[in-house]
Structures are given as C-alpha cells and as structure tokens.
C-alpha cells in the first residue's frame, strides 16, 4: 500500500444568511456562484457533506473512502477502534458578516437519544475581528429554566447572556450545553465534534430572501442548556515564539497554537493520532519522508496521517497555525 502524505481537501463552502466576503478576501477561497460564504468546511465526515481529497494520488477520493482503506494508518489505531469509519472532527472557517443565531448544542447522550448523532462540543479561535466585535458565550449570572424562559419570552436574553469583546488570537471553548453566538465582524476557526445538530434559540426575528424566519428549537433546547454561571470563559494562554502552546484539551480534541519563524521538528511516535494544521497567518511547508514536502498557505487546512511519525514545519515567513489532534 502506498505511503500516505499530508492531505488537503476541497473546501465545502456554505452560503448563510449572515455570511460575508472574508473567506475570499482574507483566506483566498473562491465561492462563486454563491452570494456569500459564511462557512468553509475544511475537513468533514458529516453525511451529505463529506470532504473530497484535493492533492496527491488520493485526489478525488472522499475522506470516508480513504479512512476505510487506511484505517489506523490514517487516524491512529486507538481512534479507529473508537470511531471506526466515522471521522471524529469537523473543521471549519467561519465568517460572520452579521450576528449568528443564539444557539446551543446537545451533549453525546442527548444527541444519541434524539438524533443518533454525536454531541457537539467545539472551540473558536478568533483570526480577525472588526473594531468593537463581540460574541456570546454562557450566562452572565446563575439562571434556571424558568428565568431563562421568562427572558426568552420577553425578548430580553441579552440581560442574562455573557457578551465578550474579542481580538485576534482569542480562544473560547464551547462545551455542549453552553449557549453561544458568534457576533458580527468576526472571522474564526472552529474545531468541533462531527455533528451538525444545532438548537436555535433566538434569531433576532430576521427573514431570509424569501421572507421566511428560520426555525427555532425552543423546547428541544431546554434540556440541552447548562444554566450555570462560569467565570473567565475566554481561554487564557500565552503563545511563545517557536514553541507549541496548548490552548484547549478536552475529551474530544486537543488544540495547540504555534507561532513560528524557524523550522520546527515534530516527533509523534507516541501520539497514535492524526494531526490537523490550520494556517491562520503566513505559510509553511510540511517536510516528511525522504525530503518530500507539502506547502500550506494562509486559509488552508491539512491532515497529517498518523503513520507519518516525524515531520518538520518550515515557515516561509512569520506563521501562525492551529495544531489539532485526538
């Protein structure tokens, strides 16, 4: 069987009622004939939206087909034993030209019972933010179901939701159950469990181009919401130049930030997992077996198979990437 290599996938671009132009202007993604693009699904195993390989001898094959053939060599033996032919993560870039709906995602137990799906724990890494941009994550005080419903009915959720001003580099971890919304003027990377289950709580009464409001999931959301108040919902970290900095570690994924202008050698002999690199600034090459390499530009995402145990990241300039694995 041929040796695997760093794999790129053709982005799956989604027009959204709140989408804009930044995926094209900032990240170089062409989305015509769509009127806008709110999301670029970089790596997806979601049924109906499965990524297709863009580079190398596997080009034209779907992620699922590659996974069926290469199994643990692609994702790591322990990951293949746990998830089989379901790729466990969904990787996106999101451009919010307008505020997204206020929403919540179910956990694994609820999602399995209702949708035969994984739950949806996720994280955000802010890549760009217009002046004054903010997002919603969690509640600003302890509430209960009755209080929440009162504010929902009175159209005053803003009185109990926590709003956070954001800047490039900010990280927010969003476990299943946390009420959240990306605000207007934010471009971010999103790492999440493979799930497309979203309960929309409030959508600002906006209408689509047909004059229709979007469906709300008021009842379904009630049992999914974590009503507790949490302090410091923004993830605190300090990135060091040419070092790998851990920002999120949870049961479903681990994410590091890497800011570098020198070559960095990576050794994954004990990891037993694929890696994903999302380039948010600059460009670099992934050098692997026998001096072969794959270039990764700003706005591109690449999957490094588990069987590639050592790689070297060689930046062409000052570069920032997210490093994701299980």
Active site residues: 200
Taking a C-beta distance cutoff of 8 angstroms, is the pair 86, 45 a contact?
Answer: yes
Strands (E) located in 130-198: 134-139, 161-165, 171-174, 180-181, 186-193
Report how far residue 76's alpha carbon sits from residue 100's, in angstroms, rounded to the nearest whole number.
35
16-52 per-residue burial string, b: 16 or more CB within 10 A, e: under 16: bbbbbebbbebbebebeeeebbbbbbbbbbbeeebbb
Sequence-distant (≥ 6) Cβ neighbours of residue 36 within 8 angstroms: 15, 16, 19, 20, 21, 97
Taking a C-beta distance cutoff of 8 angstroms, is the pair 162, 182 a contact?
Answer: no
Report how far residue 3's alpha carbon sits from residue 61's, in angstroms, rounded to the nearest whole number.
16
Sequence-distant (≥ 6) Cβ neighbours of residue 273 within 8 angstroms: 75, 76, 78, 79, 306, 325, 326
Report how far residue 199's alpha carbon sits from residue 176's, in angstroms, rounded to the nearest whole number.
11
Q: How far is CA 312 from CA 3, 287, 295, in A?
A: 17, 5, 12
Which of 310, 224, 278 is closest to 89 using CA atoms? 278
Dihedral over Cα of 287, 170, 108, 201: its sign: negative
């Amino acid at each position: 069987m041929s040796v695997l290599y760093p794999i790129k996938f053709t982005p799956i671009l989604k027009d959204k009622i709140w989408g804009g132009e930044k995926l094209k202007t900032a990240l170089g993604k062409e989305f015509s004939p769509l009127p806008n693009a709110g999301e670029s699904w970089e790596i997806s195993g979601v049924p109906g939206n499965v990524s297709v390989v863009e580079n190398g001898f596997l080009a034209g094959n779907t992620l699922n087909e590659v996974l069926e053939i290469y199994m643990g060599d692609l994702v790591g033996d322990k990951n293949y034993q746990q998830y089989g032919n379901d790729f466990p993560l969904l990787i996106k870039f999101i451009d919010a030209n307008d505020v997204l709906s206020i929403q919540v995602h179910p956990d694994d137990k609820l999602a399995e019972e209702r949708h035969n799906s994984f739950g949806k724990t996720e994280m955000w890494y802010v890549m760009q933010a217009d002046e004054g941009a903010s997002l919603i994550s969690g509640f600003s005080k302890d509430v209960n179901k009755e209080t929440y419903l009162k504010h929902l009915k009175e159209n005053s959720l803003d009185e109990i939701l926590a709003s956070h001003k954001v800047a490039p580099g900010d990280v927010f971890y969003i476990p299943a159950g946390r009420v959240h919304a990306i605000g207007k003027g934010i471009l971010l990377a999103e790492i999440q469990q493979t799930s497309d289950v979203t309960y929309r709580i409030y959508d600002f009464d906006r209408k689509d181009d047909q004059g229709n409001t979007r469906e709300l999931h008021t009842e379904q959301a009630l049992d999914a919401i974590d009503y507790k108040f949490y302090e410091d919902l923004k993830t605190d970290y300090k990135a060091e130049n040419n070092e790998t900095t851990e920002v999120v570690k949870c049961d479903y994924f681990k994410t590091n930030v890497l800011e570098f202008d020198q070559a960095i050698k990576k050794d994954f002999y004990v990891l037993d997992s694929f890696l994903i690199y999302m380039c948010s600034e600059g460009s670099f090459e992934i050098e692997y077996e026998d001096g072969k390499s794959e270039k990764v530009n700003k706005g591109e995402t690449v999957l490094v198979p588990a069987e590639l145990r050592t790689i070297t990241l060689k930046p062409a300039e000052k570069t920032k990437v997210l490093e994701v694995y299980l």
